[in-house]
Amino acid sequence: MIRDSAEVRLAGLGLALPPAPAPKGIYKPCLIDGKYLFVSGHGPVRTDGSLITGRVGKDMGPDEAKLAARQVGLTILASIRAELGSLDRIKRVIKLLGMVNCEPDFEGHPFVVNGCSELFSSLWGEELGVGVRSAVGMGSLPGRIPVEIEALFELQEQVQES
């Protein structure tokens, strides 16, 4: 059975990718090393290029923060597409590190980061779209964003042309 590609699944969700953000420091948004794609920490960029901001537990609740984490996932996908040309070059999700800008008593970090994990699962399926993950709370994040996520993906093997 042939499954839909990640690009087809994304189109079917009706979600738009924001513009791939330019680095705000001295780093690369994506780096390929062998069969792996390392993705630097990304924040929630809207389709108009603006950032979602706020502190979880103060300026927004868990459900709104979960939507912000989904937007981080879409921002990561925009950077992947800019780097690789297609989301279909991704074989599987290996690891996510989700950082939540929250009040000290907030404990729902995993729930928030599920916004990104659920998106990736819907694109690559439960077996390939869900990897290992950490979800932690932070005292602050750049630009007052509520969520930052970095990721590691395994790439599809490239067919060598002769």
For residue 139, give the DSSP letter.
S
Beta strands in the chain (DSSP E): 30-33, 36-42, 90-101, 132-138, 147-155
> What pLDDT score does 158 carry?
73
Is 70 exceeded by the pLDDT of residue 89? Answer: yes
Query: Distance between CA atoms of 129 and 127, rounded to whole angstroms?
Result: 6
Looking at the DSSP bridge assignments, the partners of residue 152 are: 38, 95
Q: In the chain, what are the domains?
A: 6-14+35-155 (3.30.1330.40)
State residue 4's pLDDT score.
Answer: 80
State CA 86 to chain mean position distance: 15
| Cα 153 to Cα 162: distance, rounded to the nearest angstrom | 27
State pTM to two decimals: 0.95
pLDDT at 1: 42
Tell me the β-bridge partners of 133. Answer: 96
- Give the H or E element holding residue 67: helix 62-84
Instruction: Give the distance between the most distant pair of CA atoms in the chain.
Output: 59
* Listed residue (92, 77, 86, 89) closest to 130, CA to CA: 92
pLDDT single digits (tens) 91-123: 999 999 999 999 999 999 999 999 999 999 999
> What average pLDDT does the chain have?
95
